[in-house]
Structure 1
Amino acid sequence: MLLSFRVANHRSIRDEQELSLVATEFNEGTGRETGTRSEGKPVRVLPAIGIFGANASGKSNVLSAMRFMREAVIESLATWGKGQGVPRQPFELADEASADTSLFEVELLLGRADNKTRYTYGFELSDDRVESEWLHAYPSGRRQVWFEREANRPETEGGEFRFPGTGLSGRKDLKDLLVTTTRSNALFLTVGAALNHPQLSAIHRWFQDNLWLVTSGSDVEARTAWTRELLTRKEAKEMRDRLVTMLASADLGVTDVDVDAESGEVQLLHRGADGSSRRLDFWEQESLGTHAWFAFLGPLLHLLGRRGGGVLLADELDSSLHPVLAAEVVRFFQDAEANPELAQLIFTTHDATLLGPSVVERPLDRDQVWLTVKQREGESALYPLLAARKARNDENLERRYLRGYYGGVPRLTTGEVARQLAALERRLEAQRTESDPEPKATTTA
């Protein structure tokens, strides 16, 4: 499970920002026990995090950074080798940012329910190479450095590596092979997994199975096809039962799902006026809301059904789902019975109703709410709601958020857009009058 994520110098994110999924002392019960302790206290993890903010404030770029880190771990050995350097995306609004490194780091908790270990893995990238990379483990609460890498020796292709202690297993000749195989623009973790190093493969596997990004855009059709494909597998009966239950409970009028065994075509069944089941063409007759919910359920149910859970990244959750349905998705992740493997949801949204006017109506605890703001030079800042005016639990978070008490909303007064546009029209009209005055009338004899 994911405990935290750090990023710097990626798209609109200039300075280092950190997103934490560890429950705080202000949590009202959504935090889940992990069976581990830190500094003598039990560690509880959050099953869901909501990131709120104005348009273009950087919400989506937090998820983009997590997705980039996943792709780097999976693809750096094969894909990055096809071109020169590293395909990163540094902050564009400051010239000096291109000379600074981009940072990505996760803190993970992996292992069996009764024997979990905390790990910290990260790396820094320049346009040309991997500048540093590290993996630390905490098997008994104390740090073990499994490896550290620095690109400070040009004569060494992959950089300088350190393997202090005995935390990272394997003979010296195996580690030497991994080092000599690692290019300057490839991650050591990726190389280790490619050569089946057991410890490195376990960390690599977490990235491969997690950080699934879903958006409201072009991936809907691809996710729909993937959900359909899941339903055609031999072991898909339980998946189908869950999918039908969630389609029916969403009040979409769907009563069942029919899967053609030969073609794999999926049709949703609706109850007709005479009580019979009627099939509707999925793309031509089903609503866009039904498309969005069906496409969302594939990744959702896949992660919820995986041993060890997973992390689902949902960009603009409110753009494809009704607020009531979006709130139910959050509650689904919060429910220990519905989500026994502790899958996690990180989503961005503009939907202030998810903050709720009261504690009872609020699907999120205060420490599950994060905000993004765009600062003066265009860089994004990410911070928890609890850092903004120490929001009390009995506050109407929805109303106070919309009024700008916590930040993360457009700095506009009521009617300002209309007033600004009207003022522009007046200026344009004045300019047209000045450049093309009406001709004076003339008289003839």
Structure 2
Amino acid sequence: MLLSFRVANHRSIREETELSLVATELNEHTARETGARSEGRPVSVLPAVGIYGANASGKSNVLNALRFMRGAVLDSFAVWNSRSTIPREPFALAEEAREETSFFEVDLLLGKNRIRYTYGFELSDERVEAEWLHAYPSGRRQIWFDREADRPDDEGGEFRFPGTGLKGQKDLIVTSTRPDALFLTVGATLNNPALAAVHRWFVDNLWLVTSGGDVPHRTEWTRQKLTDRKAGASLRERIGALLAAADLGITGLTLDPESGEVQLLHRTADGPPRPLDFWDQESLGTHAWFAFLGPLFHVLDRGGVLLADELDSSLHPILAAEVLRLFQDRGANPRPAQLVFTTHDATLLGPSVAERPLDRDQVWIALKEATGESRLYPIVAASKARRDDNLERRYLHGHYGGIPRVTSGEIARQIALIEEGLRATA
């Protein structure tokens, strides 16, 4: 499970920013107990958090930073070696940011014993400037390794292994770790069992779902999973049920016995359900919902983390709310899987406690400063949001920030003035 993510100097995020999935005392009913404790207190985790904000406020960059961290863990050893520089994206609106490191860190709870791990690194264009992995197997921190490059000519950096927490061969990993490669990546490549759990988490998690060009890929991936002999039958039943529940006119799905192609069955007025050609006759909305369901059940089955950028662009608000309730439901999501999403859809905040699928501590705001830097904060930090507040109305009225600073009718007036000027000079 993901407890928190911290990032600095990535795209529009300049200063260190944290997204926390740890429940607060304001949580009403959605948090899940983990069995872990921090400073003597039990730790509960949120199955979903939503990031709100105006266009270009940096919402998507939070998800992009998580994906970059995953890519670094997976690719630094085998792929970065072929590049002239590390493919990071520091803050572009300040020259000095290029000289500063980019920072990424996650807090995780892994395994049946819910052991906490803190893993992170700092990158420059040329090398890994720092990297660390700390574990808390008995509640107390063990530094498994710390890496730091102190000097410009320091090739691989200095590695420290205080204590005996990190088991296995370490010298071979150190000598195999290039300046531009992560020790975690190299250790997993060399089959160090102690590093496998953290590395595996990055391999299995942080699938990013967008409203753009990845829909055909996710559609084809889902269709292939449905034909799997082992898991396909159960997946077909569940996806068929959600397709039918979405009021798309679909009663279920079947596999063509000759081609193996997935066919969606539609209600008819005068007979049994009939299939339509998936690519030529199904609507874009059906494609979006179908393509979302494959990754959805993938993370639900594994207790993973799904990232959804612009959830409201992919799904109708009613379907988006049902997806949230699916993650919140203990029976449907027992592991639990987690959803981190961005959205403009204020209806998900709900006019009342009974009508909103999110607790107050599950709502975050992204705000773009005058300098172009993004700032991220929980809605409860923006205002002392009371339990019975109409979060939807107060958000739209600007009480929490994160909405466009546009006066009603301002855009139309600006265009009218331009048109008037053009006519006057014609």
Give the alignment's TM-score, normalised by structure 1.
Answer: 0.94
CA–CA separation in structure 1 for the residues paired with 2:139 and 2:416? 63
List alignment gaps of at least 5 residues for structure 2. Answer: none
One of 148, 155, 161 as aligned partner of 1:157: 155
Q: Who is 1:46 aligned against?
A: 46
Question: In the TM superposition, what is the alpha-carbon distance from 1:225 to its structure 2 partner?
Answer: 0.2
Task: Verify: 1:230 aligned to 2:225, yes or no.
Answer: yes
CA–CA separation in structure 2 for the residues paired with 1:16 and 1:425? 44
| Partner deviation per Cα, 1:348-378 (whole Å, 9 max, x = no partner) | 0000000000000010000000000100111
Are the aligned partners of 1:357 and 1:396 in contact in 2 as well (CA < 8 Å)? yes
Are the aligned partners of 1:153 and 1:160 in contact in 2 as well (CA < 8 Å)? no
SS at match of 2:263: strand
Are the aligned partners of 1:371 and 1:382 in contact in 2 as well (CA < 8 Å)? yes
Corresponding letter in the other structure for 2:419: E
Matches within 5 A, 1:18-417: 18-112=18-112, 115-170=113-168, 174-235=169-230, 236-260=232-256, 263-306=259-302, 309-417=303-411
Percent of counterpart pairs with the same letter? 72
Q: Cα gap change, 1:262/1:125 in structure 2, threshold over 3 Å: closer, same or farther?
A: farther
Question: In the TM superposition, what is the alpha-carbon distance from 1:162 to its structure 2 partner?
Answer: 0.3
One of 420, 423, 428 as aligned partner of 2:422: 428
Are the aligned partners of 1:228 and 1:264 in contact in 2 as well (CA < 8 Å)? no
Question: In the TM superposition, what is the alpha-carbon distance from 1:154 to its structure 2 partner?
Answer: 4.6
SS at match of 1:103: strand
CA–CA separation in structure 1 for the residues paired with 2:377 and 2:415? 33
| Partner deviation per Cα, 1:196-235 (whole Å, 9 max, x = no partner) | 0011111100000001101010000000000001001011
Which of structures 1 and 2 has the bigger CA Rg? 1
Question: In the TM superposition, what is the alpha-carbon distance from 1:38 to its structure 2 partner?
Answer: 1.3
Are the aligned partners of 1:372 and 1:408 in contact in 2 as well (CA < 8 Å)? yes
CA–CA separation in structure 2 for the residues paired with 1:338 and 1:275? 34
CA–CA separation in structure 2 for the residues paired with 1:263 and 1:204? 38
CA–CA separation in structure 2 for the residues paired with 1:19 and 1:392? 22
List alignment gaps of at least 5 residues for structure 1. Answer: 434-445
| Partner deviation per Cα, 1:34-84 (whole Å, 9 max, x = no partner) | 011112211100000000000000000000000000010001101101112
Question: In the TM superposition, what is the alpha-carbon distance from 1:17 to its structure 2 partner?
Answer: 0.5
Question: In the TM superposition, what is the alpha-carbon distance from 1:262 to its structure 2 partner?
Answer: 5.5
Give the alignment's TM-score, normalised by structure 2.
Answer: 0.98
Q: Who is 1:437 aligned against?
A: none
C-alpha RMSD of matched pairs (Å): 1.1
Corresponding letter in the other structure for 2:396: L
Corresponding letter in the other structure for 2:383: R
